Structure 1
Amino acid sequence: MNIFLISLLFIIPIFLLLGRTRKSSKRLPPGSLGIPVIGQSLGFLQAMRANTAEKWLQERIRKYGPVSKLTLFGKPTVFIYGQAANKFIFSCNHSVLANQQTQSIRRIMGERNLMELNVHDHKRVRDALVSFLKPESLKQYVGKMDEEIKNHLETYWQGKQQLTVLPLMKILTFNIICSLLFGLKRGTQRDKFGSCFQEMIKGTWSVPVNLPFTRYNRSLRESTRVKGMIRELIQEKRVELEQKGASPRQDLITFLLSMRDEDGKEVLTENEIVHNVILIMVAGYDTSSVVITFIIRLLANEPAVCAAVLQVAEQEEIAKNKASGELLTWEDLAKMKYTWRVAMENMRMFPPVFGGFRKALADIEYDGYIIPKGWQIFWVIPMTHIDETIFPEPSKFDPSRFENQASIPPYSFIPFGAGPRMCPGYEFARVEILITIHYLVTQFNWKPCADNSFSRDPMPVPSQGLPIKVWPRNLS
């Protein structure tokens, strides 16, 4: 009897403990964390590169539902999807959900970039960037961007019979960034900057294993070089401002250096300028070049859409009303409504950014589950874009979806984010895309030379970089 009682004294606490564990584990999302550190990272990256990431996630959704746990890039993660998930990500209280990218992105770009900041710091830095990138400010840069794009087309497109689009679009967007955001002229300094930058961004989505042979390690090394070059630029701009009376709005770095608070102190620290310059570089270089490339790919495969862009969108009329050498204006861009609808439908089907991460600052109850403090939350863009309950016949290309944007449910179309987390470079990208497409469709014809496939690494990359045959277009 004594033995039985003693056994009960041991067994009952164990059952209570197991019961409590089962009860708490039920509140965690379903799924497996997999192997520590690695988890499902390799499978996900493989799916990205094979262009099956959406299917990979749809299988998770079918198996576990719209909320599930896994391990990505070294951290326990909760994947959430849907319109409600997007709203949660882009409008959640900053004290509950923090901006936090993967360790690889954070280390490569810097911890003081906008995607890592929260509450007051996020608002301060975002307000500074928006002040430079808002439409009222961008109007004065349309002509400068126009000149950069025409120079690019004269150098790399005119007189060519065949070319590869994506590398050329990366050259174009990099040169626009250097010219408009950094005031960096063509030459050895810009070329060196470009080669280091391209190596740096290759490891932004990688397993954070810092060994000499890894992509992550190479990107970290190049990140250190890029940050050093930007610091040198900052010192040059500071001297120009203080000693030579440079215009505060001549480029982004000069503008940020000139900003002062009520006490006369600089609004941004040097680290914040460096890290956010890198963020704008990555966003403006990679995303815009990918969007333009996929529009060119679309127009090559859809002659009727190309004809509509040329005529319905008044691109032909705009071109004919311009004197030789006359630059496009902000008013010209406002007429390109159909072209922009084509661009948005293209981004719906092929968003340049696949998704991102947030960090739970406290235990969060979401959709009946607990997301533990410190875990990262993984959200993706394409899943609502291909949801047939939101966009009927999602595989069909249909720019008319965006004729009445008010009819699109909020937090469903999110290539630039949404709400208070809307990308501050939205208008900059719009201007860049519209000017480029205007000159392409009014000056050139083209057709593809490779198959229509593409992969993600982590952004979409068309087969062989999209080689095309090209010949002049005669509007007359």
Structure 2
Amino acid sequence: MAPPELLALLVALLLIIHLLTKNRKLSKRLPPGSLGIPIIGQSLGLLRAMRTNTGEEWIQKRINKYGPISKLSLFGLPAVFLTGPAANKFIFSSDSLAPKQTQSMSRIIGARNMLELTGKDHKRVRGAVSYFLKAEVLRKSLGKIDEEIRHHLRTNWLGHNQVKVMPSMKSLTFNIICSTLFGMERGARREVLVQEFTKVMAGLWSVPINLPFTNFNKSLKATRRIRKVLTKVLDEKRCALKRGECSSDEDLITYLLSLGADNGEALTEDEILDNAVLVMIGGYDTTSILLTFIARQLANDPAI
């Protein structure tokens, strides 16, 4: 017979599963497919495919089994899987669809980031952030970017027989983000930020189970620490603006702080912090991966 402790644990587990599934009444109009295990759903299978670079096979298996439209559960939320040109056109051109991120992303980045907002709020926040990211505005930061690149090459490339390009490009991208978007100089504050940011990225695509040993829990704690650092930066920038010691377009945070409330463009502190974290995450992987592939292309084809 099973030990009493094991039996009690099994009963508790069955009770939890029952409570989680008893209200999951599915409409007959839903597409084929399964929502899987409560909370977890198909998340683990997708994450495994992403880690092993077999995402296309995972998608094709799903299409072969259920067709181009199916239901599933990802990262704690029910979802609909669609594929094909018609589905893409429907998603990106339909005004009835509101943007929705996974629970893990929403809770880690913050509820006031532009990916979670709709209507006027979305337009206001997106307009503010995208203005600073325009080429003519970023052109003013070329001096900062140039200095970051030169310092990075002197420190991490010159005199090295071998360089691991991907980690190097991630470090460079992060330092450029700190310099141009946050106006943060090299030093201890950046070091703290990069350590916490690594933990954030590890839990961004995870099942939102907030237990001490999970990546999601570690990511939430890391985000709170990042927000503390950025809050101090925000307070310093606000004081510098009041004293006239910096211009409104010196960096992203300064610009967002300078937006006036008289024309309805002002952002709250939560909106500034949430979208600062969003921009940091959005620019980190995409830019560093692109730079890595450029370096690979240059290395493999000297003629280029």
Q: TM-score range by the shorter chain?
A: 0.7 to 0.9
**Any stretches of 5+ residues in structure 1 without a counterpart?**
1-20, 309-476
Structure 2: distance between partners of 1:65 and 1:265: 46
Question: How many Å separate the matches in 2 of 1:55 and 1:143?
Answer: 44
Q: CA deviation at 1:266?
A: 6.0
2:63 maps to which of 58, 61, 64: 61
2:303 counterpart (288, 301, 307): 307
Letter in 2 for 1:28: L
Larger radius of gyration: 1
Work out the CA distance in 2 between the residues paired with 1:69 and 1:158. 52
How far apart are 1:147 and its partner, in Å? 2.3
Query: Deviation at 1:229?
Result: 1.1
Give 1:401-420 correspondences, 5 Å limit.
none
SS at match of 1:253: helix
Alpha-carbon distance in 1 for matches of 2:104, 2:137? 33
> Which residues of 2 match residues 276-355 of structure 1 at below 5 A?
276-300=275-299, 302-303=300-301, 306-308=302-304
Other-structure match for 1:439: none
Aligned with 1:70: secondary structure? strand
Partner of 1:242: 242
Question: 1:40 is aligned with what amino acid?
Answer: Q
Distance 1:243 1:176 in 2: 26
Alignment pair present for 1:83 and 2:100: no
* 1:271 is aligned to 2:258: no
**Which residues in structure 2 correspond to 1:116-195 (within 5 Å)?**
116-195=116-195
SS of residue matched to 1:79: strand
1:360-371 to structure 2, matched below 5 A, reads none
Give 1:103's aligned residue: 103
Aligned mates of 2:141, 2:246 — CA distance in 1: 17
Partner of 1:36: 38
% identical equivalent positions: 55
Displacement after TM superposition at 1:197 (Å): 1.4
SS of equivalent residue, structure 1 residue 33: coil
Write the deviation string for residues 155-176 of structure 1: whole angstroms up to 9, x where unpaired: 1111211121111111100110
Q: Which amino acid is 1:141 matched to? A: S
CA contact (8 A) 1:258 1:266 kept: no
* Distance in structure 2 (CA, Å) of the matches to 1:116 and 1:127: 15
- Please give the alpha-carbon distance, in whole angstroms, between the structure 1 residues aligned to 2:265 and 2:119: 19
Distance 2:145 2:134 in 1: 15
- 1:62 deviates by 1.8
**Residues 124 and 265 in structure 2, CA contact (< 8 A), matched pair in contact too:** no
- TM-superposed deviation, 1:140: 1.9
For structure 1, which segment, 133-142 or 171-180, has the greater mean C-alpha deviation from structure 2 after superposition? 133-142
Aligned to 1:115: 115
- Cα distance in 2 for residues equivalent to 1:142 and 1:211: 43
1:332-380: CA deviation from partner (whole Å, max 9, x where unpaired): xxxxxxxxxxxxxxxxxxxxxxxxxxxxxxxxxxxxxxxxxxxxxxxxx
Kept in 1: contact 2:109–2:223 (CA 8 A): yes
Return the offset for 1:193: 1.4
Partner SS for 1:97: coil
Query: Secondary structure at 1:36's aligned position in 2?
Result: coil
1:196-237 per-residue CA deviation (whole Å, 9 max, x = no partner) reads 111122100000111111111100111111111111111110
Q: Which residue identity lines up with residue 268 of structure 2 in the other structure?
A: T
Q: Which amino acid aligns with 2:275?
A: N
Residue 231 of structure 1 aligns with an amino acid whose one-letter code is T
TM-superposed deviation, 1:79: 0.7
* Structure 2 CA distance for aligned equivalents of residues 78 and 214 of structure 1: 26
TM-score w.r.t. the length of structure 1 is 0.57
Contact 1:29 1:69 in 2 (8 A): yes
Q: Deviations over 1:115-144 (max 9, x none)?
A: 111111111011101211112212222233
Per-residue deviation, 1:264: 5.9
Q: Which residue of structure 2 aligns with residue 52 of structure 1? A: 54
Match of 2:15 in 1: none
Counterpart-to-counterpart distance in 2, 1:228 and 1:264: 29
Judge conservation of contact 2:189–2:229 (CA < 8 Å) in 1.
no
Is the partner of 2:163 in helix, strand or coil?
A: strand
**What stretches of structure 2 of length at least 5 have no aligned partner?**
1-24
* Whole-angstrom CA distance in 2 between matches of 1:251 and 1:235: 14
Residues 388-403 of structure 1: pairs in structure 2 closer than 5 A: none
Kept after mapping to 2: 8 A contact 1:257/1:266: no
Which residue does 1:228 correspond to in 2?
Answer: 228
After superposition, give the CA deviation of every residue in 1:226-271 in whole Å (9 maximum; x if it has no partner).
111111111110000001431111110000000114x266611000
1:397-450 residue CA offsets vs partner (Å, 9 max, x unmatched):
xxxxxxxxxxxxxxxxxxxxxxxxxxxxxxxxxxxxxxxxxxxxxxxxxxxxxx
In the superposition, relative to structure 1, how do residues 85 and 143 fare at CA in structure 2: closer, same or farther (>3 Å)?
Answer: farther
Asked if the contact 1:113/1:279 (under 8 Å) is kept, the reply is: yes
CA distance in 2, matches of 1:129, 1:83: 30
Aligned residue type for 2:292: T
Query: Any idea what SS the aligned residue of 2:98 has?
Result: strand
Kindly indicate whether the alpha-carbon contact (under 8 Å) linking 2:174 and 2:284 is maintained by their aligned counterparts in 1: yes
Partner letter of residue 224 of structure 2? T
TM-score for the superposition, normalised by structure 2 = 0.87
Equivalenced residues, count: 280
1:269 is matched by which residue type in structure 2? T
Letter in 2 for 1:267: A
**Whole-angstrom CA distance in 1 between matches of 2:90 and 2:260:** 34
Paired residue secondary structure (1:224): helix
Q: Deviations over 1:457-476 (max 9, x none)?
A: xxxxxxxxxxxxxxxxxxxx
- Take 2:155 and 2:43, find their aligned partners in 1: how far apart are those partners? 41
